[in-house]
Structure 1
Amino acid sequence: MQYTHLGRTGLTVSRIALGTMNFGELVDEAASFKIMDEALDAGINFFDTADVYGGPQSPDMAKGYGISEDIIGNWLDQDPSRRDKIILATKVYQPMDTGPNEKYLSAYHIRRACEASLRRLKTDHIDLYQMHHIDRATPWEEIWQAMEQLIREGKITYVGSSNFAGWDIATAQCTAASRHLLGLASEQSLYNLTQRTVELEVIPALRHFGIGLIPWSPIGMGLLGGVLGEITEGRRATSALQRQIQKLRPQLEAYEALCQDLAQTPAVVALAWLLHNPVVTAVISGPRTVQQLQQNLQALTLKLSDETLAKLDAIWPGPGGEAPKAYAW
C-alpha cells in the first residue's frame, strides 16, 4: 500500500480510500464486512462514509439513513482493535429527518449529527468530519465555533469539506485563520476523466491552501469502468447510464481501446490517472465486491507515461487549464 499525508496535515492515509456509500443499499452487512476485512488486510487505513449513506438520500425516505455507519460500527464492534488501525471519516449536512433543523450546517445540527454518527459508528471519535455540501445560509463563524467545540471535546480531530467551490474554500480558510484554526484538511470533489471542472478553481485553491483532494466518483458512475465491454457481455446498463453512453460513445470507444492497448482495465486506468495529480491525496474506491476492491488496488502500481496522459487528455479534454487562463489570457 502507498501512503501520503492528508493535505498539509501530519496524518498519514492510504492513497486508496474505502468508500462505503453502497453499504446497506447495494451491499448487505455480511458482504460489507468481507470488503472491510479485505481493505484492512490490503493496508487501506482510510474509511469514508456519511450519515446519510445506506439508503435513498431523500428527506422523506429517511428509513435508510445511517445504515452504512451502522454497518461500520458493527464491524468495529466485532474487534475493537480495528478502530486504532483506520482513519475514520464521515459527513454532516444532508437531511436526516423531515424536521427543519435536521439538516445543513447550523451549530445545532452539527452537534446533534456528530453525536448520532458516533453512536452508530460505536466509537468515541471521528478522525475526519466532513461538511457534505456548502451551506451559505450559515455564517462561517458559527460553523467553526461548532467544529472547535467538537475538537475540544475530542469527538472529532480534523475537519474536511465536500462539494465546495473554490471561493467557499478560500472563505472557510480565511475565517479559520482568524480564529487560529487549522481549517480544512481535505476536500471531496466530483473529479474524473469525464468531469474535470474542478481544475478551473477548486484544485488551484486546494494547492494554495495545502488542502488534500479526495475525488469521488473516480470512474464516473460506471462510465469509465469498461461499460461498453460490459454491454457486449450482456450486462444491462440503467436508462440514465445508457443515455450517457450514447452521448459519449465515440470517446468511450477510444478510451476503452487505449486501455486495451495498455493491457489494463478501464477502471484501473481511471484511478491511476487521478493518482498522478499531486494535489490528490486519496481516491475513493466504492466496491460492491471484494474482487472489485482487489482490482482497484492495481491502480497504485500503474504508471502512466506522458504519451498516455496526453492521449487521455485528447479523449477527455479538461476545461483548458486553470482560471482565468482557461478562458481569458
Structure 2
Amino acid sequence: MQYTHLGRTGLSVSRLCLGTMNFSWTTEKPDAFAVMDSAHDKGINFFDTANRYGRPHSGVTESWLGEWFAQGGGRREKTVLATKLYGAMGDWPNEGKLSALNIRRALDASLKRLKTDYVDLYQFHHIDRDTPWDEIWQAMEVAVQQGKILYAGSSNFAGWHIAKAQGVAKARGFMGLVSEQSLYNLIARTVELEVLPAAQDFGLGVIPWSPLQGGLLGGVLKKEQEGKRRLEGRAKETLDRLRPQIEKYEALCDQLGHAPGDVALAWLLHQPAVTAPIIGPRTADQLDSAERAVELKLDAETLKKLDEIFPGHKPAPEDYAW
C-alpha cells in the first residue's frame, strides 16, 4: 500500500479509504469485520463512516466499528478514523445540522458508539446555510482542545464554501478544513471547475466518493452480458444515456489489459489534490481489485484517451470564459 499526507497535514493515510456505508445494508456484521481486518492486512489505515450510516436506524455502522475496535489487537490505534455529522438523528429540534449544540451532542454520541475517546477526522456532511462559521469553528475549537477530534473536514461543499470556511478559520487562528469529500469520478467531474482548485489552494486533501459511479465504471456492460448484473430505473436510464461512452471505455480497458474498476480508481489517483478514493467493498475479496489500482500507472496517452471518452472541465473561469 502507498501512503500520502492528508492535505497540508502531517497525517499519513493510505491511498485508498475504506468506506463503510454498505455495512448493515448489503454487508452483515461478520463480513464487515472481515472486510476491516482484510483492509488492515493490505495496509489500508484510512476508514470513513458517518453517524447516519446503517439500518434499521442511524448509528448502527458506527456501533459496528466500535465493536470491531473493542476486539483489540491495535485495531483502533492502526486506524485513521473519519466520521461525519449533519443529518438529523431524531425528530426533535437541534438533532441535526451544525449548530454548536448539535456538534457537541453528535460528537459525544459518535464517540460512545465508536468506543473511542477521539476521532481523527470529523467532517461536515453538508453545508449548513443557517449556522455562521464563527459558531461552527468555536464548537470545533472546543472539541480540539478537549482532545475529542484532531482535524476537521468537509463533504459536498462548493468551492466558495471552502473559501469562506477557511477565511473565518484563519481570522480565528484555527487550522480549519484539511479535507473535502466530494462526488468525483470519470463520469462526474463537476468538482474540477472550482472545488479541486479551491482544495489545492487551501491545502485540502480531496476524498472522492462513488469512484465507480454506482458501478457504471466497474465493467457494467460485461457484467450485463454475463447476466451478473441487471440495472433498473434511474440506473438503467443513466446507463442507456452513457452507453456509447462506456462501450468505448470498456474497450480501452480491454486494450490496456486491466479491469475497468481498476482503471477508474487509478485515474482518480492521478488527479491533483486527490488523497484517497473511498472504496466500499461488500466482501473482503472485493478489496483485491482496489489494491491493484494503487500500483497501476496510466501513461499520458491513456489519460488523454480517457479525457476524450469522458471530457472533464478546466478550472473556472477558463472552462467557460477566456
1:55-204 matched pairs, under 5 angstroms: 55=55, 63-79=56-72, 81-204=74-197
Q: Secondary structure in 2 aligned to 1:9?
A: coil
CA RMSD of aligned residues (A): 0.9
Q: By how many angstroms is 1:80 displaced?
A: 5.6
Q: What code does the residue aligned with 1:313 have?
A: D
1:316 aligns to what?
A: 310
What is the alpha-carbon distance in structure 1 between the residues aligned to residue 63 and residue 191 of structure 2?
32
Consecutive unaligned residues in structure 1, runs of 5 or more: 56-62
Q: Secondary structure in 1 aligned to 2:76?
A: helix
Q: By how many angstroms is 1:314 displaced?
A: 0.5
1:22-37 matched pairs, under 5 angstroms: 22-37=22-37
What is the alpha-carbon distance in structure 2 between the residues aligned to residue 118 and residue 273 of structure 1?
35
What is the alpha-carbon distance in structure 1 between the residues aligned to residue 73 and residue 151 of structure 2?
22
What is the alpha-carbon distance in structure 2 between the residues aligned to residue 124 and residue 49 of structure 1?
16
Q: Secondary structure in 1 aligned to 2:75?
A: helix
User: Which residue of 283, 287, 295 corresponds with 1:289?
Assistant: 283
Q: By how many angstroms is 1:219 displaced?
A: 0.4
Q: Secondary structure in 2 aligned to 1:104?
A: coil
Give per-residue Cα distances to partners, 1:165-207, cap 9 Å, x unaligned: 0000000001000111111010000000000000000000011
What is the alpha-carbon distance in structure 1 between the residues aligned to residue 260 and residue 235 of structure 2?
16
In the superposition, the TM-score normalised over structure 2's length comes to 0.98
1:60 aligns to what?
A: none
Q: What code does the residue aligned with 1:316 have?
A: F
Question: Structure 1 stretches (4+) deviating beyond 3 angstroms?
Answer: none
Give per-residue Cα distances to partners, 1:284-309, cap 9 Å, x unaligned: 11111112111111111100011100
Consecutive unaligned residues in structure 2, runs of 5 or more: none
1:305 aligns to what?
A: 299
Query: Comparing 102-111 with 228-237, which one deviates more in the overlay?
Result: 228-237
Q: By how many angstroms is 1:239 displaced?
A: 2.2
Matched, 1:264 2:268: no
Give per-residue Cα distances to partners, 1:134-193, cap 9 Å, x unaligned: 001100000001100111111100000000000000000010001111110100000000
2:207 aligns to what?
A: 214
Q: What code does the residue aligned with 2:305 have?
A: K
In the superposition, the TM-score normalised over structure 1's length comes to 0.96
Matched, 1:3 2:3: yes
Q: By how many angstroms is 1:99 displaced?
A: 1.7
2:245 aligns to what?
A: 251
Give me the identity figure in percent: 60
Q: Secondary structure in 2 aligned to 1:248?
A: helix
1:59 aligns to what?
A: none
What is the alpha-carbon distance in structure 1 between the residues aligned to residue 138 and residue 66 of structure 2?
27
Q: What code does the residue aligned with 2:71 have?
A: Q
Query: Comparing 135-144 with 78-87, which one deviates more in the overlay?
Result: 78-87
What is the alpha-carbon distance in structure 2 between the residues aligned to residue 71 and residue 326 of structure 1?
44
What is the alpha-carbon distance in structure 2 between the residues aligned to residue 304 and residue 81 of structure 1?
35
What is the alpha-carbon distance in structure 2 between the residues aligned to residue 111 and residue 223 of structure 1?
39
2:267 aligns to what?
A: 273
Q: By how many angstroms is 1:100 displaced?
A: 2.3
Q: What code does the residue aligned with 2:215 have?
A: G
Higher RCO, Cα 8 Å, sep 6+: 2
Q: By how many angstroms is 1:278 displaced?
A: 2.8
What is the alpha-carbon distance in structure 2 between the residues aligned to residue 98 and residue 266 of structure 1?
43
- When the two structures are aligned, how many residues end up with a matched partner? 321
Q: Secondary structure in 2 aligned to 1:83?
A: coil
User: Which residue of 217, 230, 235 corresponds with 1:236?
Assistant: 230
Query: Comparing 157-166 with 78-87, which one deviates more in the overlay?
Result: 78-87
